[in-house]
Amino acid sequence: MKSVPFIKMHGIGNDFVVIDCLANPWLDTAIGDFGAFARRVCRRAFSVGADGLLVLQFDNDCDCRMRIFNADGSEAGMCGNGIRCVARLLFERHVRRQELTIRTASGLRTVLVNTDGNGTFVSATVDMGAPVFEPSRVPVESDAPLVDAPLDIDGRVYRLTAVSMGNPHGVIFVDDLAALPFVEHGPLLERHRMWPEGANIEFASIRPGTKVIDVRTWERGVGETLACGTGACAVAAAAVATRRLDYPVGIALRGGTLHIDVSSDWHILMTGPAEIVFDGLLDIPSAD
CA 74 to chain centre: 14
79 is known as an active-site residue: yes
Q: d(Cα 256, Cα 268) in Å, to the nearest integer?
A: 19
Q: Cβ(170)–Cβ(185) under 8 Å?
A: no
Strands 168-173 and 200-206: parallel
Catalytic residue among 21, 42, 64, 79: 79
Catalytic residue among 64, 85, 228, 233: 228
Cα gap 75→35, rounded to integer Å: 7
Report the SS3 class of residue 88. helix
Say if CB 284 and CB 30 are below 8 A apart: yes
In this structure, are residues 12 and 232 in contact, taking their beta carbons and an 8 Å threshold? no
Residue 42 among the catalytic residues: no
Give the residue numbers annotated as catalytic, written as ranges: 79, 228
